[in-house]
Amino acid sequence: MDFALSDEDRMLKDLVGRFVREELLPLERIVLEREAVGQGTSLTAEERAPIDRKARELGLWALDAPEEFGGANLPFVSLVGVYEELAKTVVPMILGPDSPNLRMLMLTVSDQQREKYLAPYSRGETLCAMAISEPGAGGDPAAMTTRAEKRGDDWILNGRKIWISKAAEADFTILMAVTDKSKGARGGISAFLIDKGTPGFNVLRKIQMLAGMFTYEVALEDCRLAGSQLLGKEGDGFGPMQVRLSTRRLEMACNCIGMAQRALDMMCEFAPQRVTFGAPLSERQAIQWWVADAATKIHACRLMAYDLASKLDKGRDARVELSMVKVFATEMAWEILDHAMQTFGAMGMTKEVPLQLMASLVRNMRVYEGPSEVHRWVIARKLLRLR
């Protein structure tokens, strides 16, 4: 067993780290100020354009997109370090296209959809939202009730979705709906592609979430889709959706490692400088233990992430590891960020340093892509051989 990164993966991680320091960190103060007044964390088109251009120049674009669309087709193992480095700042950055939806599309598109959706998405030219959650079905998506009924060659969709990120901005949304109620998640749920502006796809409201994030509530009211908008096979939406969720969970775990590492770095820089009661904080055992525990847990979590990425690359069943790493990473980052905020005293309670925003990002992560309790349940069910 060799735990060393390949030279290529090490260089890629270093390059992204440099990109974050040189291109993104200078914008962090603007993002913090924007979020502090309730305006979210998104960059303006003018701020984003030069950054995206730079990322493309450096070859940091479409890293896991298919080669036929100009992508580098990199495996998950190569992306662990990329996702980690990108999360060391609160300046939001996706080196397009967003991997989870990309992976789902790659598994499911027809030839026609390949040209219309996958090709431009792979080139990072379009935005895609994912609509699974409903008012009565979140952590348990199999309980969804949004229906898609066949009318001739078309589909008519009715129902409601909630907490959908990017629903108003996305060029298209991948939406999950029930096509055969009797079969439920085992053959009864299908995926559809809905273009922005499709009649009956009605964005009802924008919901302000923690960490300057926004989601939307969407009503599907006799939303008519051509048969060609079915994504993948009828009734076979759940499997590809799980692939998408797996990708996001790995990405989130790596993001947590990045945020925790930034918090640890900030603690290590601040603690020797801050003197209380005649001694620097770095000489206090309380702070030393936070630092030592943080470094230990980050190391453990990084190994978990690489192990998971390697299993996913080999196509192994890694459902339990996915749940383990999602829970471990989010709770680890939450704890380390809390200790860093405490070390910084009142400064840690301000919106001038990124710690609180990172903590809010992680707080969200303990709920979306499956709440921690549901993931613990998945792990325990496997161990206890429960259904």
Ligand X SMILES: Cc1cc2nc3c(=O)[nH]c(=O)nc-3n(C[C@H](O)[C@H](O)[C@H](O)COP(=O)(O)OP(=O)(O)OC[C@H]3O[C@@H](n4cnc5c(N)ncnc54)[C@H](O)[C@@H]3O)c2cc1C
Q: List residues near ligand X by CB under 6 A.
A: 130-133, 138-140, 163-165, 209, 213, 215, 364, 367-368, 370-371, 373-374, 377
Min CB(338)–ligand X separation in Å: 19
Name the H helices within 58-145.
76-86, 99-108, 111-113, 119-122
Closer Cβ to ligand X, 163 or 270, answer by number: 163
- Of 169 and 265, which has the nearer Cβ to ligand X? 169
Residue 322, both tokens = 């996915």
Q: Map tokens 């998971």 to a residue.
A: 308
CA–CA separation, 334 and 339 (whole Å): 9
- Residue 181 structure tokens: 């109620």
Candidates 35, 85, 321, 369; catalytic one: 369
Contact call for residues 364 and 211 (beta carbons, < 8 A): yes
CB 355 within 8 A of CB 263: yes
CB of 177 to ligand X, least distance (A): 12
What does the alpha-carbon distance between residue 234 and residue 359 come to, in Å, rounded to a whole number? 40
Least spacing, CB of residue 85 vs ligand X, in Å? 22
- Could you list the beta-strand ranges (E) of 101-187: 128-131, 147-151, 154-164, 172-178
In the complex, minimum distance from the CB of residue 193 to ligand X, in angstroms, rounded to a whole number? 15
Task: Specify the residue, 55 or 325, whose C-beta has the smaller distance to ligand X.
Answer: 325
**In the bound complex, what is the minimum distance in angstroms from residue 256's beta carbon to ligand X?**
15
Is 33 annotated as catalytic?
no
Least separation in angstroms between CB 10 and ligand X = 32
In this complex, which beta carbon is closest to ligand X, that of residue 78 or of residue 179?
179
Nearest Cα residue to 89 out of 358, 369, 377: 358
Pairing status of strand 172-178 against strand 128-131 = parallel
Beta strands in the chain, from DSSP E residues, in sequence order: 128-131, 147-151, 154-164, 172-178, 189-195, 201-208, 214-225, 230-231, 275-276, 279-280
Q: Which residues contact 11 (CB under 8 A, 6 or more apart)?
A: none
Q: How far apart are CA 272 and CA 295, in angstroms?
A: 17
**Is the bond into 97 cis (omega within 30 degrees of 0)?**
yes
Q: Residue 206 forms beta bridges with which residues?
A: 216
Among residues 66 and 368, whose Cβ is nearest to ligand X? 368
Question: Between residues 65 and 191, which has the closer beta carbon with respect to ligand X?
Answer: 191
- Just list the catalytic residues: 369
